[in-house]
Amino acid sequence: MNYRHEFHAGNFADVFKHIVLTRILQHLGAKPAPFRVIETHAGSGFYDLLGPEAGKTAEWRGGIGKLMAASLVPEVQPLIAPYLQLMAPLIEGEPPRYGGSPWIAKTLLRRQDKMLFCELHPDAFANLRANFGNDARIKLFQTDGYARLKAFLPPAERRGLVLIDPPFEAADEFAKAAEAVEHAWRKWMTGIIMLWYPVKDAGTSAALAAHLLERGVKRVLRLELQTGRPAPQGPLARCGLILVNPPFRLDAEAEILLPWLSGVLGAGEAGFLIERVSGE
Ligand SMILES: C[S@@+](CC[C@H](N)C(=O)[O-])C[C@H]1O[C@@H](n2cnc3c(N)ncnc32)[C@H](O)[C@@H]1O
């Protein structure tokens, strides 16, 4: 297990994933009934953007750095502003920091909501515990998130989100992730499920969506964002999200968001994909 999210925090992939995450959490928070967020691969929660890892790759400058400098056009403003409002105090801090998915979720959680985070790496888990360990709404598990997920579903609240955000280091990660999505859906057919994945070649991600369709998973939306030409050995230039039971109108929001984001964060061969993989 070599992956450290510290090298990639705040890059274009994080920005894309976390904007959509913020939209989902806002949607869940719009009703007073409690919800639960379950995250299988939580990471550290906070990242020092000038630290030895993020400072070395500086990937964040092509992600949150570009976004902070962009002028929001009126139709995009309401979709992105909530995420930027969360991030701005951290980015403008000294040193600048980036908040990962646990921090975003914690910030948008209400008194009645709950969160479960799994993280396997000892250093990342220690950070997670230091940052989130004293909040009674949050439970932390230093464990394999795929294995633990089964025991968490369905949650008592019956509303909420499963976020699966693996490092994709292992050759079988796409298969494991697809299995986790299908399994989560079978155990909790009304829950929102969000899987992040990298795109190095178009075939693998198309196969992921086709697999879920074939297994009968309903209400699947696939979104992809590209900031340059994807290459198997090159730096990440395209990534995607599989969303099961996406909030109402998220697909319409993506039609506004993704062209704009690909223009602001991309160069050359930037682009996007919005695919309604399966309906009811
Ligand atoms: C992409 S990062 C997570 C980033 C985080 N979700 C965010 O958006 O801020 C993936 C994390 O998964 C952890 N990890 C790797 N294998 C795992 C497993 N089997 N179970 C739980 N965590 C794992 C890694 O240590 C890493 O911190």
For 188-197, the pLDDT digits (tens) are 999 999 999 9
Greatest Cα pair distance, the chain, in angstroms, is 49
Ligand 1 atom 12 nearest Cα = 41
Point out the residues that are catalytic: 165
Ligand 1, from 2, 4, 5, 152: best to mutate by most atoms within 8 Å of Cβ? 5
For 240-262, the pLDDT digits (tens) are 999 999 999 999 999 999 999 99
For 122-162, the pLDDT digits (tens) are 999 999 999 999 999 999 999 999 999 999 999 999 999 99
Q: In what order do the strands lie in the sheet with 238-244?
A: 138-141, 114-118, 36-39, 160-164, 192-198, 238-244, 220-226, 271-278
Closest ligand 1 atom to the C-alpha of 124?
27
Q: All domains of the chain, ordered by start, with CATH?
A: 5-278 (3.40.50.150)
Q: Which pLDDT score is estimated for 202? A: 85
Closest ligand 1 atom to the C-alpha of 148?
20
Report d(CA 135, CA 139) in Å as an integer.
8
Residues with CB under 6 A from ligand 1: 1, 3, 5, 17, 40-43, 100-101, 118-121, 124, 144-146, 165-167
Closest ligand 1 atom to the C-alpha of 18?
8
Q: Which pLDDT score is estimated for 232? A: 82
Report d(CA 207, CA 210) in Å as an integer.
5
Q: How far is the CA of 118 from the centre of ligand 1 (A)?
A: 8
Q: How far is the CA of 5 from the centre of ligand 1 (A)?
A: 8
Using alpha carbons only, how large is the chain's radius of gyration in Å?
Answer: 17
Closest ligand 1 atom to the C-alpha of 45?
9
Report d(CA 234, CA 236) in Å as an integer.
6
Report d(CA 76, CA 23) in Å as an integer.
12
For 2-16, the pLDDT digits (tens) are 899 999 999 999 999
Q: How far is the CA of 272 from the centre of ligand 1 (A)?
A: 25
Question: Quick one: average pLDDT of 36-52?
Answer: 96
The model's confidence at residue 234, banded by pLDDT at 50, 70 and 90, is confident
Ligand 1 atom 4 nearest Cα = 43
Alpha carbon of 230 to those of 18, 20, 243: distances in Å? 21, 22, 22
Question: Quick one: average pLDDT of 173-182?
Answer: 97
Q: Which pLDDT score is estimated for 197? A: 98
Q: How far is the CA of 13 from the centre of ligand 1 (A)?
A: 14
Within 10 angstroms of residue 133's Cβ, the number of other Cβ atoms is 11
CA dihedral over 261, 266, 271, 274, signed as positive or negative = negative
For 28-43, the pLDDT digits (tens) are 999 999 999 999 999 9
Q: Which pLDDT score is estimated for 173? A: 95
Q: How far is the CA of 32 from the centre of ligand 1 (A)?
A: 30
The model's confidence at residue 1, banded by pLDDT at 50, 70 and 90, is confident
Question: Quick one: average pLDDT of 86-109?
Answer: 96
Q: Which pLDDT score is estimated for 174? A: 96
- Give one DSSP letter per residue of 35-47, joined into a string: -EEEESS---SEE
Ligand 1 atom 17 nearest Cα = 120
240 closest CA partner among 217, 267, 222: 222
Identify whether the C-beta of residue 183 lies closer than 8 Å to the C-beta of residue 38: no
